[in-house]
Amino acid sequence: MDHFQYKNGVLHVEDVPLTRIAEAVGTPVYVYSRATLERHAQVFREALSGLPRVHVAFAIKANPNIAVLKVLAKQGFGADVVSGGEVARAIAAGMKPEDIVFSGVGKTRAEMEYALGVGVGQFNLELEEEGAVLGQIAASMGKTATATLRVNPDVDAGTHAKISTGKKENKFGVAIGEANGIFDRLSGTAGLSLRGLACHIGSQLFDLGPMEAAYGHVGDKVAELRAAGHVIDRVDLGGGLGVPYERDKVPPSPATYGQMVERATKGWRDGADGHPPVTLMFEPGRVIVGNAGVLLTEVIWVKPGAVNPYIIVDAAMNDLARPAMYDAWHDFEAVAPTGERMIANIAGPVCESGDTFAMGRDIDAVKAGDLAVFRTAGAYGATMASTYNSRALVPEVMVDGDRFAVVAERIKPETIIAAEHVPDFLAD
């Protein structure tokens, strides 16, 4: 359930009509619902309530806006981060450093040092050398870095190739068969406490089968590592749960996912035979924020086309990259629909044919000057925005009941030009 509903024929976010936001802030603009974010966070937690030791770290890359992170911090979420910049954001939003998990295949030495300095709680290692370097840096700072090893379970998540991460040819993690050797060689490394495994096989997953298979492989590895004398007390099961971009394509619910996790981890999560219990860690991104946001846009032209008309909107691929990048679908709805329909293509103003949101789509009939939204744009939306074609960086608004606030300003081309410099050698 979300809080994007038509009232008196006008699409509202909670109690605010989108016409009001367009008037005050202009378009294009992302609009988030605080109540929806909170509800999704609660539903996710509730789904895991049958598990005794759980840590939820929101995957910041899905939506790094500080206000969004603040809402999730208030819900008790930590953060899964993939850069020093994301560490800074998590802390700026009030998340506890010890609740931050640092993932990512290319952490630099400077990022490790910064993260250790602020007290980041866990590092998910992507290769053996990274563990050695992290230990060295931590030891030189008089600290010990807590770490897990990200394993690649070689399962096909059945999602788009560009968001598939758990096959052996992907760049992420170490082959699961190599984990034993890496644990043996890294154990005893000064400054490093390697005590768990991590896996994340992909995003926008609709089939829990591959995830359950991956978790099964991870469980087998936990047993092997324990048998070899290693202490395992945390396992990071990643994120990846899908969201319904199309109304009639419904992903597994968080509750179904929670039941699967209970089943898949039963044999090893509670410890036994002298082994400590395992804290299960989760890194949801899209499922928390996807349906909590829309991209509000205005129709500039309705341009006749060879087959169908083109609806040219003022949002473009630089504001919402997913359709161009992943052939992704976003529902398009008029803010004040007349009830009439049309078959049309939807495109932005950027000079690329790829700047097309939909072809031959059955949509609310719209005309120049009408407002419309792309739904389910809260995840991997604003965070991927650029200023390509020297367009402004798209702003973000958060609604809370009957009030709203700009939570990221529109960054105008003038501001960006001011940060560029003509060198002396080009002076006239």
Ligand X SMILES: *Cc1c(COP(=O)(O)O)cnc(C)c1O
d(CA 25, CA 36): 21
Count of residues in the chain: 428
Distance (Å, rounded) from C-alpha 265 to C-alpha 283?
A: 16
Q: Does 238 bind ligand X (CB under 6 A)?
A: yes
Select from 195, 200, 217, 234 the one that contacts ligand X (CB under 6 A).
200
Q: Is 351 a catalytic residue?
A: yes
Site size for ligand X (CB under 6 A): 16
230 near ligand X, judged by CB under 6 A: no
Ramachandran category for residue 77: left, alpha or beta (phi over 0 → left; psi -120 to 50 → alpha): beta
Distance separating alpha carbons of residues 20 and 10, to the nearest angstrom: 11
Nearest-CB residue for ligand X? 285
User: What is the C-alpha to C-alpha distance for residues 50 and 45, in angstroms, rounded to an integer?
Assistant: 10
Site string for ligand X, 239-268 (x = CB under 6 A): xxx---------------------------
The one segment of 90-98, 245-253, 281-289, 393-401 that binds ligand X by CB under 6 A: 281-289
Q: How far apart are CA 77 and CA 91, in angstroms?
A: 12
Binding segment (CB under 6 A) for ligand X, from list 31-39, 282-290, 310-318, 393-401: 282-290
**Adjacent-strand bridge partners of 151:** 174
Could you tell me which of 93, 133, 110, 86 has the C-alpha nearest to residue 101?
86
- Amino acid letter, residue 18: L
Binding residue (CB under 6 A) for ligand X from 203, 291, 318, 345: 203
* Angstrom distance (rounded) from CA 83 to CA 112: 9
The DSSP 8-state label assigned to residue 394 in this structure reads P
62 contributes a contact to ligand X by CB under 6 A: yes
Spatial separation of the C-alpha atoms in residues 93 and 95, rounded to whole Å? 6
DSSP at 219? H
Q: Is 234 in the site for ligand X (CB under 6 A)?
A: no
> Candidates 18-26, 246-254, 285-293, 357-365 — which segment interacts with ligand X by CB under 6 A?
285-293
> Of the ranges 5-13, 59-67, 255-263, 291-299, which one interacts with ligand X (CB under 6 A)?
59-67
Tokens of 331: 């529902």
- The site map against ligand X for 68-107 (x = CB under 6 A) is ------------x----------------------x----
x/- letters, 102..141, toward ligand X (CB under 6 A): -x--------------------------------------
264-284 burial, b at 16+ Cβ within 10 Å, e below that, comes to bbeebbeeeeebeebbbbbbb
Q: How far is the CB of 293 from ligand X (least distance, A)?
A: 13
Report how many helices (DSSP H) and strands (DSSP E) the chain contains, helices first.
12, 21
CB of 268 to ligand X, least distance (A): 21
CB of 103 to ligand X, least distance (A): 4
Contacting ligand X within 364-403 (CB under 6 A): none
How far apart are the C-alpha atoms of 309 and 342, rounded to whole Å?
9
Q: What mask, x for binding ligand X by CB under 6 A, covers residues 147 to 186?
A: ----------------------------------------
Nearer to ligand X, 244 or 309 (CB): 244
**In angstroms, what is the minimal distance from the CB of 323 to ligand X?**
17
Cα(321)–Cα(311) distance, rounded to whole angstroms?
Answer: 18
Q: Which residue, 39 or 286, has its beta carbon nearer to ligand X? A: 286
What is the biggest distance separating any 2 CA atoms in the chain, rounded to whole angstroms? 78
Tokens describing residue 306: 């060879």
Tell me the closest approach of the beta carbon of residue 106 to ligand X, in angstroms. Answer: 12
Q: What is the distance between the alpha carbons of residues 197 and 175, in angstroms, rounded to a whole number?
A: 12
- Is residue 286 a contact residue for ligand X (CB under 6 A)? yes
Stretch that binds ligand X, among 57-65, 180-188, 332-340, 356-364 (CB under 6 A): 57-65
Instruction: Write down the least CB distance from residue 91 to ligand X, Å.
Output: 19
Cβ proximity of 333 and 364 under 8 Å? yes
Evaluate whether 56 touches 44 at the Cβ level (below 8 Å).
yes
Q: Which member of 306, 351, 418, 419 is catalytic?
A: 351
Which residues are part of the catalytic machinery?
351
Q: Which residues bind ligand X (CB under 6 A)?
A: 59, 61-62, 80, 103, 200, 203, 238-241, 283-287
